[in-house]
């Protein structure tokens, strides 16, 4: 299930249930948590520098930053807010993006040139086992079983909110062909979606509305590809100010996204084995170079859906919708526009949508709906009901885990008051003097045994949710593709400016990187 690790930000996934400030359960086979505070959202709260000239390199690092193209043809942005969320798969995706997009671009990655903070899974247990047990009880967080290494990228700059916004501002300042902006990492859910965004280095956040403001002021169209959880929030860029009440954006901008604004996405894996990973980026980027997720060559007809001899962004996006085995439900700006402007009933005219036709045909065959298309929506509704019940069981199990934690912690702290604070000056002496007593207490404690049992119950509930999310994802992709074709037919029958904008969005999404 490693490939179903979700690429969401801890700040976006709910409040903590205990004073440990742990992250609620995600779609994974192990419980991940963090003690970090929510990422800052204001310019005053971050220390960032404009990306030109590139940020300096510290005295212990000798990597020279890549020069900035003027103007850049593409910008690739990504990395975690802290090393804990800077999994190696994000770096790998960005390296692949550089290869696919070619010359003329700039990479903004995590801490920047010479940074040492890429998280890689370590299969060999290290450290003091008793300390690890105490840490899991009092302060669980991800990354403790991982190692960290310097980045293999050679970025032009770090990926902070301020740096990214300044880079985009400079890139769209003058007229030109569309700027491709590729965003990879952990997403933050927004309510409304324009308040969502991408979690960036230094615990900063690139908000959808902020990116819209910069693009609104520019003179160049843009294509935005975002691969994180809740990345469909960036579909709001189809509107001026990312506000559906403000009308279509000018200059034109379009985008393709790994997930809807409400759903998590697969990815962000500390395992460097690409064969063990799953996610939108692997399918999308490899499709652009005529390959499957594993790098194997594919027949041209399998990817070139309109037969023009080239593979467009939208065709690569369709490939991810068809072939993805994770929890992704990809979407686009043209889908968002349809749902904002297409009539809910009325006349229809056939619209040429080869990408939607391919998704419908291939997913229907893969899921066994050929000849019984009318059952798709009802089956999807049933899976959603199952998911709701599974989430309720997960919530209940998490509550029992929290209660069990409090009892186990109270028993241990009653005898050893500083064991929940490894920074306390008495922690190391206490551990050294009472190792046997502490280990014996944990071994004999009914409360601690109940805590461990509750952890196992949560893990079982998480696995059930993960399975249902993956099952529902393919069904939802098929349901949405059918809706897209229906809505496009009605919008074409109505015609006018809304249909013209939809065609312009499709043309933008069908561009090449």
Q: What was the pLDDT predicted at 26?
A: 35
The answer to whether residue 96 scores a pLDDT higher than 70 is yes
- Residue showing tokens 């009092």: 138
- Strand-by-strand arrangement of the 197-200 sheet: 186-188, 197-200, 204-207
- When computed from its CA atoms, the radius of gyration of the chain, rounded to whole angstroms, is 24
Q: What is the mean pLDDT of residues 173-195?
A: 97
Identify how many contiguous H helices and E strands the chain contains and give both numbers: 13, 11
Q: What was the pLDDT predicted at 69?
A: 84
Give the tens place of pLDDT for each residue, 8-55: 754 443 333 333 433 333 333 222 333 333 333 333 333 333 333 333
Give the tens place of pLDDT for each residue, 246-299: 999 999 999 999 999 999 999 899 999 999 999 999 999 999 999 999 999 999
Task: Quote the CA–CA distance of 311 and 315 in Å, as a whole number.
Answer: 6
* Integer CA distances (angstroms), 347 to 58, 230, 344, in order: 64, 33, 10
CA angle 260–188–359, rounded 5-degree value: 20
Q: What is the mean pLDDT of residues 197-203?
A: 97
Query: At 507, is the pLDDT very low, low, confident or very high (cuts 50, 70, 90)?
Result: very high
The answer to whether residue 464 scores a pLDDT higher than 50 is yes
* Integer CA distances (angstroms), 413 to 134, 249, 408, 441, 456, in order: 11, 58, 9, 11, 23
Give the tens place of pLDDT for each residue, 437-459: 999 999 999 999 999 999 999 99
3-state secondary structure of 181: strand
432 contacts: CB under 8 Å, gap ≥ 6: none
| DSSP structural state of residue 81 | S
Task: Quote the CA–CA distance of 18 and 36 in Å, as a whole number.
Answer: 14
| Assigned token pair, 181 | 């902006």
Q: What is the mean pLDDT of residues 372-380?
A: 93
| Assigned token pair, 261 | 């604004």
pTM of the model as a whole: 0.88
Mean pLDDT of the chain: 89
| Assigned token pair, 352 | 């040429």
Q: What was the pLDDT predicted at 163?
A: 96
Q: What was the pLDDT predicted at 17?
A: 31
Q: What is the mean pLDDT of residues 326-335?
A: 98
| Assigned token pair, 122 | 């370590």
Q: What was the pLDDT predicted at 55?
A: 30
Q: What is the mean pLDDT of residues 179-184?
A: 98
Q: What was the pLDDT predicted at 143?
A: 86
Q: What is the mean pLDDT of residues 123-150?
A: 92
Closest C-alpha to 32, from 82, 70, 84, 76: 84
Alpha helices in 304-367 (DSSP H): 313-323, 333-341, 354-367
Question: What is the Cα 137 distance to its own chain's centre?
Answer: 28
DSSP 381-420: HHHHHHHHHHHHHHHHHHHHHHHHHHHHHHHHHHH-TTTT
* Integer CA distances (angstroms), 33 to 91, 95, 211, 358, in order: 21, 27, 29, 39
The answer to whether residue 306 scores a pLDDT higher than 80 is yes
Query: At 67, is the pLDDT very low, low, confident or very high (cuts 50, 70, 90)?
Result: confident
Q: What is the mean pLDDT of residues 378-401?
A: 97
The answer to whether residue 432 scores a pLDDT higher than 80 is yes
3-state secondary structure of 200: strand
Query: At 333, is the pLDDT very low, low, confident or very high (cuts 50, 70, 90)?
Result: very high
């Amino acid at each position: 299930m490693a490939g179903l690790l979700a690429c969401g930000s801890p700040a976006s996934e709910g409040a903590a249930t205990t004073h440990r400030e742990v992250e609620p359960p995600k779609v994974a086979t192990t419980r991940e948590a963090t003690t970090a505070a929510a990422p800052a959202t204001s310019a005053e709260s971050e220390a960032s520098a404009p990306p030109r000239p590139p940020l300096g390199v510290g005295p212990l690092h000798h990597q020279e930053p890549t020069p900035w193209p003027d103007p850049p043809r593409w910008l690739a942005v990504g990395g975690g807010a802290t090393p804990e969320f800077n999994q190696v798969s994000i770096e790998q995706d960005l390296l692949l993006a550089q290869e696919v997009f070619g010359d003329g671009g700039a990479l903004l990655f995590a801490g920047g040139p010479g940074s040492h903070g890429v998280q890689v899974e370590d299969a060999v247990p290290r450290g003091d086992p008793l300390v690890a047990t105490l840490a899991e009880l009092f302060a669980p967080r991800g990354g403790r079983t991982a190692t960290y290494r310097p980045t293999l990228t050679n970025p032009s700059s770090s990926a902070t909110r301020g740096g990214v916004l300044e880079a985009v501002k400079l890139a769209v300042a003058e007229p030109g062909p569309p700027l491709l902006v590729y965003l990879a990492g952990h997403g933050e859910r927004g309510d409304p979606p324009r308040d969502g965004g991408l979690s960036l280095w230094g615990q900063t956040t690139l908000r959808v509305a902020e990116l819209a403001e910069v693009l609104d002021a520019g003179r160049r169209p843009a294509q935005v590809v975002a691969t994180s959880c809740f990345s469909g929030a960036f579909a709001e860029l189809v509107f001026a100010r990312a506000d559906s009440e403000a009308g279509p954006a000018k200059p034109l901008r379009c985008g393709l996204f790994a997930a809807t604004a409400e759903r998590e996405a697969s990815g962000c894996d500390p395992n460097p084995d690409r064969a063990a990973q799953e996610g939108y980026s692997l399918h999308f980027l490899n499709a652009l170079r005529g390959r499957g997720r594993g790098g194997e060559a594919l027949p041209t007809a399998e990817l070139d859906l309109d037969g023009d001899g080239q593979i467009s962004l939208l065709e690569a996006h369709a490939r991810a919708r068809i072939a993805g085995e994770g929890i992704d439900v990809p979407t686009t700006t043209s889908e968002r526009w349809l749902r904002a402007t297409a009539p809910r009933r009325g006349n229809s005219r056939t619209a040429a949508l080869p990408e939607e036709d391919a998704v419908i045909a291939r997913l229907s065959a893969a899921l066994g709906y050929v000849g019984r298309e009318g059952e798709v929506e009802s089956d999807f509704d049933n899976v959603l009901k199952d998911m709701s019940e599974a989430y309720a069981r997960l919530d209940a199990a998490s509550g029992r885990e929290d209660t069990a934690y409090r009892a186990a912690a109270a028993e241990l702290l009653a005898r050893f008051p500083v064991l929940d604070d490894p920074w306390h000056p008495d922690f190391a002496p206490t551990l050294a003097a009472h190792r046997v007593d502490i280990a014996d207490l944990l071994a004999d404690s009914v409360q601690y045994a109940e805590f461990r049992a509750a952890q196992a119950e949560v893990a079982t509930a998480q696995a059930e949710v993960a399975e249902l999310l993956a099952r529902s994802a393919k069904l939802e992709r098929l349901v949405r593709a059918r809706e897209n074709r229906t809505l496009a037919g009605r919008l074409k029958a109505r015609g006018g400016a809304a249909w013209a904008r939809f065609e312009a969005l499709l043309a933008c999404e069908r561009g090449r990187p």
